[in-house]
Amino acid sequence: MRSNKFRKYAGVILFVLMALYYGWRMFALTPWYDELYTYYCFISRGPLYAAVHWPLPNNHVGYSVLSACLDFFGNPYIGLRGISYLCALANLYLLYRIADRYLKKGTAFAVVILYASMNLVNQQAVQGRGYTLGITCFLLAWYCMALICECESGEMVPKRIYVCYIGALVLGLYAISSNVYWVVPLCLAGGCYFLLKGIRKRAHAKSLIRLILASATAALGTVFLYTTIWVAIGSNLLVKDETSPYYGMGHVKMILSAPFAAIGRGAEYMLATPYIQSEERTGFIGRLGEYFKILSGSYYNSLGTAVIIVWLAGIIFLVFRVWKGRRTESGDSRLAGNSLLYLILLMEILFVPVCLLIQCKRPYYRVFTYGGVLLSLLLGVLLEAVGDVLFCKLSDKKQGYIGIAGILFAVIFGVKCLGFSGYNEQYGTREHEIADVLAHAEVAKWDNYCVTDCNQEYLLYFLYGIRCENREIEGSDMVILDKRMLAPLDEMVWEFYHYYETIPWEYIEQNMSQVYENEDYVLYLKI
């Protein structure tokens, strides 16, 4: 009884502390380039604009649409990161609900702590990007699938569960197309679960058919949403292409007269600019091994080798449990639920390396932030299995004390992780320094602004609501120069609008005064 109260109060305290911690991160950390670009080009222009524009693969469309709705509140931090903040907290709750279905309550609580203390998860938690939203969709789809698969009669599953399942899959793919890495194995795991369970029972067969139909509906819904983007992109390209028969035509007229031409052109453009380029197959297996080693280390700093051992041990354990439980009667709901857990974890873990080998790609590590869910649940499964072997002969009271000790250890481990170097550093050093310079510029005092790189342009709008596209230094009241601009460079810098050769130094010397500088930037104000 005391252990149950301890877990209850500990859970509430953990949730409140994480809400405060994520809230601090949301406002304390200066947005970095990807966030600023997303806010400047999509979120700030409204949900409709964000829904139909996709000029670069780096745009997380679904996240931008939802964030654009929050941006109406007028606070840029809430508009940019509010959705991620809400999803980060929702993920803690959903992960606990899933873990609690399969594991002991103490282990489930420890799983949440292990998840929250991962560096990769922590870094993406409140960023103005779609990765945390994608995890919410993953957990929600998983929970709905558990309700569907573990029900003995298809009629007993409310329609809202299927609707929620479909919505989670669609939003997950609409937020980030690379979420296909968890969508496909999750759907396959549900189908395999019913096949292993046996579909000779009519209820099982009906549930399998409904799950397949729900997954197919989600696929069609996703195609529909991306079709709207393809139409918008395609029509925009065709009416501006002088070689196109639709050149100079209005967008609406072009779409109505040749919708399939717009769809084809938009899809061609999107597929021609993939998020991650394919690599040479020669030596790819070795590079992929190094990739997974670094990815494993990104979850817990300095523990990459230990995490790899956990992955390998977990795969062996999951294969054994799935094989052992394939003929088990499903009358025991806990056993059936655990079988689904083992199957989903196994499918999710094995799908990624197989898929990357086929694609010959190595995505950005943040694409697999959702792997924190898999790793934390896998750790919970392995810890509980070891505990069942070592402490099965102890009384319930002593097992309760051991559970409390395990929770306390997880808390200490989580606090230690959050104190590691790199966990709470600024996302982008230069963006933070530009914000520091702007704070010393008395921005509201001036009328004529000039931006010399894109980070300045985006931050000026994000922090002060000033959309400035002026790049002419002459006549400006305020100029911020990157110190790399103070001397000739031998190479191009992609974010620069000016270089040493294009800066009117005579004008600056005669009309402006250097009033502030930090490590990388110099501020000049009109005399």
Radius of gyration over alpha carbons of the chain, in Å? 26
Report the distance separating Cα 355 and Cα 292, nearest Å: 13
* Statement: residue 524 has pLDDT above 90: yes
**32 and 151 inside one domain:** yes
Supply the pLDDT for residue 505.
Answer: 94
DSSP 8-class letter at 145: H
Supply the pLDDT for residue 414.
Answer: 60
Report whether 63 contacts 109 (CB < 8 A): no
The total of other beta-carbon atoms located within 10 Å of residue 387's CB is 18
Which residue, 418, 437, 467, sits at the end of a domain?
Answer: 418
Longest dimension (CA), the chain: 88
DSSP code per residue over 282-327: TTHHHHHHHHHHHHHHHHSTT-HHHHHHHHHHHHHHHHHHHHHGGG
Report the distance separating Cα 105 and Cα 402, nearest Å: 12
Which residue in 424, 345, 373 sits closest to 132, CA to CA? 373
**385 and 496 inside one domain:** no
**348 and 367 inside one domain:** yes
Mean pLDDT of 89-112: 90
Tell me the per-residue pLDDT of 458-469, one tens digit each, with 9 for 90 and over: 999 999 999 999
Mean pLDDT of 333-347: 76
Supply the pLDDT for residue 304.
Answer: 84
Q: Whole-structure pTM over 0.75, yes or no? A: yes
Tell me the per-residue pLDDT of 381-405, one tens digit each, with 9 for 90 and over: 998 887 766 656 554 555 555 555 5
* Statement: residue 226 has pLDDT above 60: yes
Which residue, 385, 418, 451, sits at the end of a domain?
Answer: 418
At residue 518 the predicted structure's pLDDT band, cuts being 50, 70 and 90, is very high
Mean pLDDT of 357-385: 92
Does 242 fall in a domain? no
At residue 470 the predicted structure's pLDDT band, cuts being 50, 70 and 90, is very high
**148 and 292 inside one domain:** yes
Supply the pLDDT for residue 280.
Answer: 84
Which residue in 523, 459, 480, 493 sits closest to 32, CA to CA? 459
Does 360 fall in a domain? yes
Tell me the per-residue pLDDT of 152-170, one tens digit each, with 9 for 90 and over: 554 578 889 999 999 999 9
**189 and 127 inside one domain:** yes
Does 448 fall in a domain? yes
At residue 206 the predicted structure's pLDDT band, cuts being 50, 70 and 90, is confident
Q: How much is the mean pLDDT over the chain?
A: 86
Total number of domains constituting the chain: 2
Report the distance separating Cα 163 and Cα 496, nearest Å: 47
**435 and 288 inside one domain:** no
Q: Which of 78-87, 222-231, 249-258 has the lowest mean pLDDT?
A: 249-258
Report the distance separating Cα 440 and Cα 423, nearest Å: 28
Tell me the per-residue pLDDT of 481-503, one tens digit each, with 9 for 90 and over: 999 999 999 889 999 999 999 99
Structure tokens at 184: 């496909």
**414 and 352 inside one domain:** yes
The total of other beta-carbon atoms located within 10 Å of residue 250's CB is 12
Does 251 fall in a domain? no
Domain enclosing residue 124, as ranges: 2-218+283-418
Does 232 fall in a domain? no
**498 and 378 inside one domain:** no
Supply the pLDDT for residue 405.
Answer: 57
Q: CA-CA distances (angstroms) from residue 523 to 16, 36, 174, 439, 489?
A: 41, 21, 41, 11, 20
**402 and 456 inside one domain:** no
At residue 338 the predicted structure's pLDDT band, cuts being 50, 70 and 90, is confident
Q: CA-CA distances (angstroms) from residue 83 to 45, 131, 190, 200?
A: 17, 11, 29, 44
* Statement: residue 330 has pLDDT above 80: no
Which residue, 418, 442, 458, sits at the end of a domain?
Answer: 418
* Helix or strand holding residue 394 (H, E): none
Structure tokens at 188: 């396959």
Does 28 fall in a domain? yes
Does 411 fall in a domain? yes
**398 and 470 inside one domain:** no
Mean pLDDT of 258-279: 80
Tell me the per-residue pLDDT of 21-66, one tens digit each, with 9 for 90 and over: 999 999 999 999 999 999 999 999 999 999 888 766 667 999 999 9
Does 241 fall in a domain? no
